[in-house]
């Protein structure tokens, strides 16, 4: 279903982590090393779909005083780095408080490609998927699929006719190691969504290669957050470590 185009990498960063300068260093290193797509998370106090690494990063950002209104500073910085696409990931309550339509409108204005909100299921969407699918709204509300979804829910997803879908490769939360078995590959091929962003637990180029031809992009999240954490607080070192790590994927 996916053409032979080389699979892209979507790198994940948490806004405000480790701080503004550190985020900017990591973000620049990603674009300089050829990472095509950036996913930025707006931190939330109760991140039910994140593993320990990103949970810790979000907490650190909030402890440092991150406010949702600060997000634009990070988004604008990233937008100037020339990524092919930028996606924004956060949790339902953040955009619910912001106003879901207003959030989509503002992301649309900021030329964001997609918004991913894992705890807004298709049937309790609060207008998220339906508003984003209206004419004149370029930004996509990107639904989340999971390998082993029950058939009725796969059907529900197909009925959205989404252009893009985030697929979590294992039944779990981000950041625990994933193996690509045949079931996973078959699931990806059967979804019928043009652009799949497949992630959760990817930390090696081999895992990315296993997705070639089955997904549009491979998501590398916790792995990069760990890189930042291990690099410490000096932006120069964060840049160097992130660059050396990210280049292995591109």
* Binding-site ranges for another protein (CB under 8 A): 44-49, 51-52, 55-56, 59, 62, 67-69, 92-94, 96-98, 118-121, 124, 126, 144-146, 148-150, 153, 168, 171-173, 176
Cα distance between residue 9 and residue 1, in whole Å:
19
Beta-strand relationship, 140-142 and 195-199: unpaired
Cα distance between residue 24 and residue 76, in whole Å:
11
Nearer of residues 122 and 137 to another protein, judged by Cβ: 122
Q: Are 228 and 41 in contact (CB under 8 A)?
A: no
Nearer of residues 149 and 220 to another protein, judged by Cβ: 149
Terminal alpha carbon distance of the chain: 23
- Degrees (nearest 5) of the Cα angle 166, 4, 201? 35
Q: Write the CB contacts of 124 (distance below 8 Å, at least 6 apart in sequence).
A: none
Cα distance between residue 234 and residue 30, in whole Å:
16
Shortest spacing between CB 159 and another protein, in angstroms: 15
Shortest spacing between CB 124 and another protein, in angstroms: 5
Q: Is position 119 annotated as part of the catalytic site?
A: no
Q: Are 199 and 220 in contact (CB under 8 A)?
A: yes
H helical segments located in the chain: 20-32, 52-63, 71-79, 92-98, 100-109, 128-132, 151-158, 182-190, 205-211, 222-231, 235-246
Q: Are 39 and 217 in contact (CB under 8 A)?
A: no
Residue of 24, 32, 46, 50 marked catalytic:
50
Nearer of residues 32 and 126 to another protein, judged by Cβ: 126
Nearest to 88, CA basis, from 63, 71, 66: 71
Nearer of residues 6 and 67 to another protein, judged by Cβ: 67
Q: Is position 39 annotated as part of the catalytic site?
A: yes
Shortest spacing between CB 57 and another protein, in angstroms: 12
Shortest spacing between CB 152 and another protein, in angstroms: 9
Shortest spacing between CB 221 and another protein, in angstroms: 15
Phi, psi of 41 (to 5 degrees): -95, 135
Residue of 24, 32, 39, 119 marked catalytic:
39
Nearer of residues 3 and 124 to another protein, judged by Cβ: 124
**Could you list the active site residues?**
39, 50
């Amino acid at each position: 279903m996916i053409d032979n185009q080389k699979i892209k990498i979507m790198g994940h960063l948490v806004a405000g982590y480790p701080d503004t300068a550190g985020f900017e260093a990591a973000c620049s290193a990603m674009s300089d090393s050829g990472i095509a797509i950036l996913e930025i998370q707006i931190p939330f106090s109760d991140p039910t779909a994140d593993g320990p690494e990103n949970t810790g990063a979000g907490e650190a950002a909030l402890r440092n005083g991150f406010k949702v209104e600060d997000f634009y500073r990070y988004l604008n910085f990233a937008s100037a780095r020339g990524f092919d696409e930028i996606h924004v990931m956060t949790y339902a309550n953040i955009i619910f408080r912001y106003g879901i339509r207003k959030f989509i409108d503002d992301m649309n204005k900021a030329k964001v490609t997609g918004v991913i909100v894992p705890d807004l299921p298709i049937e309790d969407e609060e207008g998220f998927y339906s508003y984003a699918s209206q004419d004149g709204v370029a930004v996509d509300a990107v639904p989340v699929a999971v390998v082993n979804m029950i058939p009725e829910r796969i059907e529900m997803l197909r009925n959205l006719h989404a252009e893009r879908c985030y697929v979590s490769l294992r039944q779990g939360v981000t950041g625990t190691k994933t193996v690509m078995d045949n079931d996973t590959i078959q699931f990806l091929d059967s979804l019928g969504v043009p652009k799949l962003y497949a992630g959760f637990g990817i930390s090696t180029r081999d895992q990315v290669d296993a997705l070639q031809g089955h997904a549009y992009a491979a998501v590398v999240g916790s792995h990069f957050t760990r890189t930042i954490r291990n690099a410490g607080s000096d932006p120069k070192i964060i840049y160097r470590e992130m660059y050396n790590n990210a280049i292995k994927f591109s």
